[in-house]
Amino acid sequence: MATVTEGGNTAGRLSENEIRPAELLAGQEAAFARDVARLQHRFAEFVTVSCPACGAAGSEQAFEKYGFSFKSCNGCKTLYMSPRPSEEVMADYYRNSENYAYWAEHIFPASESARREKIHKPWLARVLAYCDRFQVGRGTLLEIGPGFGTFSSLAIEQRAFARVMAVEPTPELAEACRRRGVVVFEKRVEDLAEGEIAEADVVAAFEVIEHLFEPSRLLTGISRVLRPGGLLVLSCPNGQGFDVAVLGPGSKAVDTEHVNLFNPTSLSLLVRTCGFEVLEVSTPGRLDAEFVHDVIVRGEYDVTGQPFLRRVLLDEWERLGSDFQQFLADHQLSSHLWLVARKPAEGNRSRGKFTKVK
Ligand SMILES: [Zn+2]
């Protein structure tokens, strides 16, 4: 396991306004508030769970947001919502989400080209660098939860893989991906029949695992479609990242949908428990410092009595902000987490031992 920064700053400076245009925020926030209210009305159907990473029941109350309770696992420090919406409540939430409809209609069209250039292109370069570094072929890429298909369609255009497929259970999103030439399986990965998808060389799931009621099922489902020796690439928020650590429930990473906020150690543990060999964990995030800077500028976080944060994130922001963000990214301190793992080759499934696939 090592820390890398490639893909972190290669695409130049990224700003929040480019990926979520300010003039559209009010409409999006109103839609999201109605989603949250609908979820609050179903609190009686919420389910108490143990830690989604290590299974431990012992936890401390971390904080509340929108009236929902987040625990911190005593063992692995994963932050997780408990009680959390049952799987049925979660499915209804996404099916009827006004926030998602608003994104589909307004925010994605307005921001897709920026997202594509500044987020998905560096992500693809990063995935391809992993293929080279870990000697994995570029036969089939399978993306889990492709959204509107920006990443998968980019992989097709760049001929990065011989085949690009996606697993997307939401009908409107599946259709959007098909229109862009992606082969789509319209179901959850854990519901795929054995052999329904030819074995993938690389499975990527960006910003998916934090949403799931039982994340281990995603990983065991992926294991069934990944070929032995193939790569698993995950990204998700880091519950121990800078903006979560500073802002707590005020961080954008903490919301009704992110019921699992893993950290580098706990996500590694979960992935290993599900039978993978973890190759690398890194936090190539680019926005933590800006998030906190913006919150301070808006007067929503008081840095009185915190002269260091005030100096770096406000008084000397122009001089220090970018380098400070790079420091966070380089030391697993950013809130944007990546994990790369390999499915062990046949006959070599013992943990920690692995023969390189040629
Ligand atoms: Zn735990």
pTM beyond 0.75: the answer is yes
- Give the pair of three-digit tokens for residue 268: 């590694």
CB of 290 closer than 8 Å to CB of 16: yes
In tens, the pLDDT along 56-81 reads 999 999 999 999 999 999 999 999 99
- Cα of 265 vs centre of ligand 1, distance in Å, is 10
Q: Which residue has the higher pLDDT, 350 or 281?
A: 281
- Cα of 286 vs centre of ligand 1, distance in Å, is 27
- Cα of 188 vs centre of ligand 1, distance in Å, is 25
- Cα of 263 vs centre of ligand 1, distance in Å, is 10
- Cα of 55 vs centre of ligand 1, distance in Å, is 6
- Cα of 253 vs centre of ligand 1, distance in Å, is 19
pLDDT bin (cut points 50, 70, 90) of residue 313 is: very high
- Supply angle C-alpha 57, 61, 67, rounded to 5: 115
Mean pLDDT of the chain: 91
pLDDT bin (cut points 50, 70, 90) of residue 19 is: low
Domain 115-342 falls in which CATH fold? Rossmann fold (3.40.50)
Q: Per-residue pLDDT averaged across 222-235, rounded?
A: 96
- Cα of 275 vs centre of ligand 1, distance in Å, is 17
The span from the CA of 16 to the CA of 3, in Å, is 25
- Cα of 302 vs centre of ligand 1, distance in Å, is 31
The span from the CA of 150 to the CA of 116, in Å, is 7
- Cα of 252 vs centre of ligand 1, distance in Å, is 22
pLDDT of residue 8: 35
Helix, coil or strand: residue 201 = strand
- Cα of 56 vs centre of ligand 1, distance in Å, is 5
pLDDT bin (cut points 50, 70, 90) of residue 197 is: confident
pLDDT of residue 13: 60
User: What burial class does residue 17 get, using C-beta atoms within 10 Å of its C-beta: 0-12 exposed, 13-18 middle, 19+ buried?
Assistant: middle
Helix (H) or strand (E) holding 341: strand 336-342
- For the chain, give every domain's residue range: 115-342
- Cα of 266 vs centre of ligand 1, distance in Å, is 7
- Cα of 7 vs centre of ligand 1, distance in Å, is 29
- What's at 325, amino acid-wise? Q
Q: What percent of the chain has pLDDT over 70?
A: 91
